[in-house]
Structure formats: C-alpha cells, structure tokens
Amino acid sequence: MSEQNYRCGFVAVVGRPNVGKSTLINSIMGSKVSIVTAKPQTTRHRILAVHTTEEVQVLFIDTPGIHRTSGKAMNRVMNRTAASALSDADLVLFIIEASRWTEEDDDVLKRIADSGIPCIALLNKVDTIHPREALFESLSAMAERHDFAEIIPVSAKKGDNLDALLEKIPELLPESPALFPEAMRTDRSREFHAAEVIREKLTLMLHQELPYGLSVQIERFAEEDERIAINAIIWVERDSQKGIVVGKGGSRLKQVGTAARVELKAQLGRSVHLELWVKVKENWADNEKDLHALGFDTPG
C-alpha cells in the first residue's frame, strides 16, 4: 500500500436498536464480525471492524443501539459506549429503516447534529418498501431533517447498494497512513468472539424467555493438539433464569453448546471442545462493577 494520498479514518455506525448496524458491517466485511439476532440491543459492545484496500483503510465502529430507556446500568453503559464512539469518529453512518422514523431516530440525529461530524444517512431495508414511490418520499423526508453528506438507500441484509457507500466513504476520511495491519479484521480477541457466538445462540434459542438477563464469560481458551478447548460461564441474574437456560434435563444448554461449537469450528478452522456452566450473579446487569468484570466498556 502506498502512503501517498492514502486515507484512513474511524467511521461510527450508529442508530437506534435493531436497524441493521451489525448486519451492515458484516455484509461489508464479508464475514461475521458482530453477532446478529432479531432482538434489539444484541450488540452490547464497541467493536472495531478493519476494512483495508489499496486506497483506504476504513475503521468501522459497531456500536450498541442508542435508546431512550435508561433502565439498568447495562443500558446506560451501552448508551455511553455509543456516544463515545461518536465522539471519536471522523465520519458517521446513521442507519434508519427506510419505511419508518421514530422518536429514538430523532434522538440519535440530534446527537449527530450536535457532534458536527460529517454524516451519511443510510435508509436500510429498502427491499421491503412497496411501492417503490414510497422510497422517494423517505429520501425527501431525510433530506429535510439534516444536511447529510449523502443519503444512500441500502439493504444491509442483501448487500444492495453497498458499493455506492464504499465509494463515497473515502472522500470523507482524512489523508493518513493505515493505522492497523492489512490482515487485521477486528480489534476483538478470539475469546471475545467465542463468548459472543455463545450469547448469540442463547438469544436465538431463548426467544422471549430471557432476552437480556444473561452474559457469557470465557474462563479458558486453550489450543490443545488438534483442537481448541473453551470453558465458558453463562451468567444469569436469578435462580429461576438458570433453569430456563439449562432446560429440562440439560436439553437447552446442550442445544446451545452444539450450535455454538459448530459455528466456532467453522470460524476457527479447528475442532472445538466446548464446556458450558450456568451460574447466578444477582442483578449483574444493574451493577457497573459487575459489568466491568464481565468485559463491558464502562467509559465515564
């Protein structure tokens, strides 16, 4: 990579919960960097995805959805994490659903406007808009809300129009040499990713039973001959939740372990031996010390 006229910068991907931020980044990267489920607030951490070409290195910052409900300490930490990412960015990608505008979208836009950082608006899920004339109405409405650097309709899930986005981003980044090695894809460790994969499978299988009251902590991640051994603790807030996660005769925990092991084996390229335990830590989601111990970003 030539450093002459090379561009590099941080791009914060922000929006309210469940609008497709992680899906967008995974589609651009061509592989899973952040876990994805249909449930809001699946992303809890700030995750860096490094997209490198011969002309530009784009440092996408995946963030938790910015939401109104302060609720427990975990919700406040996630909002602060998203706000911190916004303050560090050279460019913002503001994702909304093309067919829907909410008060939480308005809250996010106010934060962006106050930051003064250049912003590209992405109208996501355009493949669901019918008739197509409704898309023009959405584009016109967005143009009146803020002086965006660009407004681009996309489908993060299907990858529609992401090329147009990737062509526009370098124009809005500073000239700078690459900040990370060319082969690097994320700043998160294999241990972090393993915990996230386990949490994703739990979230998908538990449906509405236990959406947010659990976290996953890796106790051991070791390479042993031809396999990788992973021991993980699933933390819940109450004894009643432990029974829900374990399931009758341990059936649900076994299902979660099998699904996580299959995905981790494919991603790590090695056989995986996975052991899971479920433990209770009362009200961990409302205790910032516990959140810090469980690996949550807790910027002041």
pLDDT band at 38 (very low <50, low <70, confident <90, very high): low
CA nearest to 179, candidates 1, 90, 57: 57
What is the reported pLDDT for 88? 82
The strand pairing partners of 60, in sequence order, are 11, 49
Same topology, domains 7-172 and 190-293? Answer is no
Mean pLDDT, the chain, integer = 88
- DSSP state string for 235-270: EESSHHHHHHHH-GGGHHHHHHHHHHHHHHHHHHTS
For residue 54, the 8-state DSSP code is S
Nearest to 146 by CA among 109, 182, 183, 96: 109
At residue 132's C-alpha, the angle toward residues 127 and 135, to 5°, is 80
Q: Is 214 exposed, middle or buried (0-12, 13-18, 19+ CB in 10 A)?
A: buried
CATH class label, 7-172: alpha beta
Q: What does the domain layout of the chain look like in residue ranges?
A: 7-172, 190-293
Q: At what angle do helices 190-206 and 251-268 cross, to 10 degrees?
A: 140
> Residue 299's pLDDT band (boundaries 50, 70, 90)?
very low
- Considering the segment(s) 190-293 as one domain, its CATH architecture is 2-Layer Sandwich (3.30)
> 236, exposed or middle or buried, with CB in 10 Å at 0-12, 13-18, 19+?
buried
pLDDT tens, residue by residue, 204-258? 888 665 556 788 999 999 998 889 999 999 999 888 889 989 999 999 999 999 9
